[in-house]
Chains A and B, each alone.
Chain A
Amino acid sequence: MDKRINVPFTKDEVVTLHAGDYVYLTGTIYSARDAAHKRMYDTMLEGKEIPMELKNNVIYYLGPTPAREGQVIGSAGPTTASRMDKYTPLLLDNGLNGMIGKGKRSKEVIDAIVRNKAVYFAAVGGAGALLSKCIKKSEVIAYDDLGTESIRKMEVENFPVIVVIDSEGNNLYETAVEEFRKTL
């Protein structure tokens, strides 16, 4: 089912999303990938403040190419989510509501998604030129020294994603492949 929702969103909205929904996101999201996750995680374990608000927000696992003059951002598709698995439960337990990436998640992450009523979306891997068109503003807000891996605050419009793991733990990667196999 196609849905249009605004980000950030509350838990009440998260629970209306179901694995398999095609969703267009509009609003503010943040980019962070491997190095930024490690740094945020270490900072949180030390009991210090991290440079982005987690509550109700969505993190996009992204390291874009540099923008040419006149562009908001370069190519901007999702990176593999499983590399963030080690750090994700702590972020979810501290209020993060959603993640955009691609690929499988660990059992620990799925448990944390259910426990916190969060959601994991997939964007289409390898469609970075197309997805860049849905990003209307982009600003590095922290960890500038990490280059492409810095944290960006981004305004998106109708950014296309698919709900892969919903707040009840349903996993589209498992069900969709099973369903398709039945048609063969």
Chain B
Amino acid sequence: MRTIHTDEIIRNVKEMCIEANVHLSDDMEQAIRNAKEKETGTLGKQILGQLCENMDIAASEQIPICQDTGMAVLFVKVGQDVHIEGMNITDAINEGVRQGYKEGYLRKSVVADPLLRENTKDNTPAIIHYDIVPGDQLEILIAPKGFGSENMSKVFMLKPADGAEGVKNAVIEAVKDAGPNACPPIVVGVGVGGDFEKAAILAKKALTRNTTEGSSLPHIKEMEQELLERINKLGIGPGGLGGATTALAVNIETYPTHIAGLPVAVNMCCHVNRHVKRVL
């Protein structure tokens, strides 16, 4: 049994919120810079140039990369041999988010009631997904999610007979429909299998995977590559103004499902695909 005090959780979550909003991960930054070199669309190339300049200014002046600093989404793996001391872990995470969004001059974008719509003024509550895992460590992954792209996400409840072709068509349809609204170049997170909500969580999780890795399953990796190629032939391009870079990556996660179903969730993320992970 290892003891972790919630003060440590609060401090780490605070720092991660700020870090994620000012610096992209190395793979994301490199993907955008590489795309700028390769882009053949005139406006597309100009826009990618602005995105590179934007990353430089954000890092050097600590200005958030995008004004939509997102709703704080967390994936937390709690080792079953960890004892949390201090306060309730969920309260501690929300306190970290509260402090991070205040001290980092990040935007408070959360409303308390979806219909009454009064801003909570501290960007809480966060959306937290917990996993209980073996071991005595606590892994926290934070992914602030902007809603320009979130709003263009979709869930499809396909039939088993639709198969791989059905999955691919669903992804292409979602990307076409999103067009310029999701702030391309995008990263496409896809969840296949599970049930209605599992597919959606897988799709969100897929966005947090390194964009250069690819799935560990050969048939899924092949699908990711084929989809990326097909998406980039749509011509939507950076900013939706024409070009060869509509998506920077397609990441697919899968899970066993029911004999009667083939759920597919497509979670869109703009080029500001933010995620920071720490292990305590």
Contacts and interface: CB of A to CB of B under 8 A. Distances in A.
Interface of A: 20, 22, 35, 62-68, 71, 74-77, 79-80, 82, 102-104, 122, 124-130, 132-133, 146-149, 160, 162, 164, 172-173, 176-181, 183-184
B67 A65 contact: yes
Contacts of A178: 235
Q: What is the interface of chain B mostly: helix, strand, loop, or mixed?
A: loop
B90 to A, nearest CB: 25
Contact of A130 (B46, B57, B119): B57
Contacts of B242: 176-177, 179-180
Interface string B182-206: 0100000000000000000000000
Contact of B54 (A63, A104, A126, A183): A126
Given A173-B241, A176-B242, A180-B237, A127 B51 contact: yes
Contacts of A176: 41, 43, 237, 240-242
Interface of B: 40-41, 43-44, 46-47, 50-51, 53-55, 57-58, 61-69, 105-109, 117, 119, 121, 148, 151, 179-181, 183, 233-237, 239-244, 270-272
B179 A103 contact: yes
27 contacts: A35-B117, A63-B68, A64-B67, A65-B67, A65-B105, A68-B62, A77-B68, A80-B181, A102-B181, A104-B179, A104-B181, A122-B241, A124-B47, A125-B180, A126-B54, A126-B270, A126-B271, A128-B65, A128-B66, A129-B63, A147-B121, A149-B119, A162-B239, A176-B41, A177-B237, A178-B235, A180-B44
A121 to B, nearest CB: 12
Q: Which of B65, B69, B108, B180 has the most CB of A within 10 A?
A: B180
B168 to A, nearest CB: 19
A104 B180 contact: yes
Contact of A127 (B54, B109, B244): B54
Contact of A125 (B41, B43, B108, B183): B183
Contacts of A63: 67-68, 107, 109
Contacts of B179: 103-104, 173
Contact of A177 (B107, B235, B270, B272): B235
Contacts of B240: 102-103, 122, 173, 176-177
B174 to A, nearest CB: 15
Contact of A64 (B50, B54, B61, B107): B107
B189 to A, nearest CB: 17
B235 A77 contact: no
A162 B241 contact: yes
Given A125-B270, A176-B41, A177-B235, 15 more contacts: A63-B109, A65-B67, A65-B106, A68-B105, A75-B69, A77-B68, A102-B239, A102-B240, A104-B180, A124-B54, A127-B54, A129-B63, A176-B43, A176-B237, A178-B235
Which 4 A-B pairs give the minimum distances between C-beta atoms?
A176-B242, A180-B242, A125-B183, A103-B181
A115 to B, nearest CB: 23
A132 B65 CA distance: 11
Given A65-B105, A66-B107, A125-B239, A102 B65 contact: no
Contacts of B235: 177-178, 180-181, 184
A80 to B, nearest CB: 5
Contacts of B64: 65, 74-75, 128-129
Contacts of A65: 63-64, 67, 69, 105-107
A63 B68 CA distance: 8
A102 B151 CA distance: 14
Contacts of B50: 124, 127, 130, 160
A35 B38 CA distance: 40
Given A63-B67, A176-B237, A126 B105 contact: no
